[in-house]
Structure 1
Amino acid sequence: MTPTTRETAVQRRASTAADTLFTRHGVTPVTMDDIAAEAGLALDELTAAYPSKRALVVAVLQRWHGAWRRALDGIARASEDPRDEVLGVFGYLEQCFADEGWRGCAFINGHAELGRIDPAIAELAQAHFADVEAHLTQLCARAGVPSHVAQALSLLVEGARVGSAVQRSAQPARAARLGAAMLLSVYDAHPTS
């Protein structure tokens, strides 16, 4: 899902501008002229870097997926216990949700706005969600927790993303983290007697 080549400086300016505008207004009302103006580029420079708004949507989603994967890698480096790593995912979400610019998950927003009319956007969102669940499944396996628990954890992640956008609050991440901790405690590898 992540791009195989790095963005050029112009592509980065364009995709950053597109991300800002898509987050603020949604994809549909934003024009290529709007993106060029936000990026400080001439329209022909923008279209040479990204020939269509759809190409920019794909670039933005790939960028968000890459940021997600880098965050998961950072959580893994900071966690010795896979259970802590699971809970760290929700800590990362809380940080995202607390950012003043947070307007919801790019994949959920993109799928809601474009997924029914653009199968490629729907596939990118589905691939992202599948990657989240696959990562949680690996963590569950390492923690000795049944793999089906990863489906519930994945729903907690997605529910927190939606709840935070609607509520404009980081509280859904904290509630989801508590739910995840409760789920993991059912399968405690070191029960006290």
Structure 2
Amino acid sequence: MTLLTLTPSTRETTAQRAATGAADALFTEHGVIPVTLQQVADRADLSLEELTAAYPTKHALVVAVLQRWHGSWRRALDRITAVSSDPRDEVLGVFGYLEECFEDEGWRGCAFINGHAELGRQDPDIAALAREHFQDVERHLTLVCERGGMPAHVAQGLALLVEGARVESAVHRSSQPARAARLTAAMLMSVYEARPAF
């Protein structure tokens, strides 16, 4: 049995890219369960045969959409790292990126949180991919905290702020949770700021 991961083994074809873009939009709008492959094909401007040649099942398409989301998240983190000279600024940049996401009119919540809520109890693959994503978020924040001289438990708290902001923004349809989480993150990190010795 092939082990599913959030890192695709091959580059997307043009048809796959169209399919995952269409599926992502439809899953975001309606959830996964009500959406049919025919609806995805229609949104992607593909025939059903072209779609199923790219992704034979809806399960494969859901996995590909989650991989797409994770890839987008990792690219955003890489951009934040590249422009941040201080680890604390890097952490705050993550919440700035979340605020940008939440301000998008199409934002309906994190695909991993939504996917786990809708499918995780009956689909162990989706549950495992959601866990992998959350672990990757915390692992990244742990590395940033280490560079900033902050203990690992701070990264755990920051990860909770990230996920809590994602949930609350979807419920309230607001970008405010990102700003509140960013302020809380700054307060948490301030406990570990270097202070001059007297």
The TM-score with structure 2 as length reference comes to 0.95
Aligned equivalents of 1:180, 1:160: Cα separation in 2: 12
Shift of 1:191: 5.0
Query: For structure 1, which runs of at least 5 residues remain unmatched after alignment?
Result: none
**1:85 aligns to 2:69 (yes or no):** no
Aligned equivalents of 1:98, 1:78: Cα separation in 2: 22
Query: For structure 2, which runs of at least 5 residues remain unmatched after alignment?
Result: 1-5
**1:188 aligns to 2:193 (yes or no):** yes
Q: Name segments (4+ residues, structure 1) moved above 4 Å.
A: none
Which secondary structure state, in structure 1, belongs to the residue aligned with residue 12 of structure 2?
coil
Deviations 1:49-73 (A, max 9, x none): 0000110100000000000000000
Match of 1:61 among 57, 66, 69: 66
Compute the RMSD of aligned alpha carbons: 1.0
Q: Say if 1:191 and 1:71 are closer, same or farther in 2 by CA, change over 3 A.
A: farther
1:45-124 correspondence runs (5 A) = 45-124=50-129
Which residue number in structure 1 is paired with residue 146 of structure 2? 141
Aligned equivalents of 2:197, 2:99: Cα separation in 1: 30
Shift of 1:102: 0.3
The TM-score with structure 1 as length reference comes to 0.98
**1:157 aligns to 2:194 (yes or no):** no
What number of residue pairs does the alignment pair up?
193
Amino acid at match of 1:18: A
Which residue number in structure 2 is paired with residue 170 of structure 1? 175
**1:5 aligns to 2:10 (yes or no):** yes
Amino acid at match of 2:192: Y
